[in-house]
A = this chain, B = another copy of it.
Amino acid sequence: VSLVKPVEYAEANPAVKAVYDDIMATRKVAAVNNFWKVLAHDPDTLKRTWEEVKAVMQPAALDALTKEMIYVAVSATNGCEYCTYSHTASARKQGMSDAMLAEVLAVTALANKTNRLANGYRVPVDDAFKPDF
């Protein structure tokens, strides 16, 4: 159970309803998921976070699928159950296959492993890796 009561559409104030409407229109879905209903207790964070998600996750230098897979990699690293389920679902909508998910998690696991070898041995950064400006 969440720490604050999820705000359903029918009981939302106009500012919250406007964000819900935009989420549903942008994503072409009939309802918003729990994350937004819980954030709605704090309408400023709801609005700011949705606008950031909309701006950051839209295709630009990277396509939408690549962005969702990076989201999954970070969420798996942090052990965030909710974000792992929700962004895996989003990535699948963008075309992620089981084989692609397997590679996302294989890279994520490998990076978490070598991060600890590098940090554990305190490997000094090679000069060649440092930008020269």
Residues of A within 8 A of B (CB): 1-5, 33-35, 38-39, 41-42, 44-45, 48-49, 52-53, 55-57, 60-62, 66-67, 69-89, 97-126, 128-131, 133
Contacts and interface: CB of A to CB of B under 8 A. Distances in A.
Given A33-B126, A85-B130, 12 more contacts: A62-B107, A66-B66, A67-B107, A70-B73, A70-B107, A73-B74, A78-B79, A79-B115, A83-B115, A109-B113, A109-B120, A110-B113
A132 to B, nearest CB: 8
B100 A62 contact: yes
A131 B5 contact: yes
Contacts of A85: 3, 122, 125-126, 129-130
Copies per complex? 6
B110 A112 contact: no
B103 A109 contact: no
B60 A103 contact: yes
Contacts of A114: 35, 49, 53, 83, 109
The 6 closest A-B pairs by CB, nearest first: A76-B120, A42-B102, A74-B111, A113-B113, A80-B115, A82-B118
A86 B49 contact: no
11 contacts: A2-B131, A4-B131, A5-B131, A34-B125, A45-B109, A48-B52, A52-B110, A52-B113, A56-B106, A74-B111, A87-B111
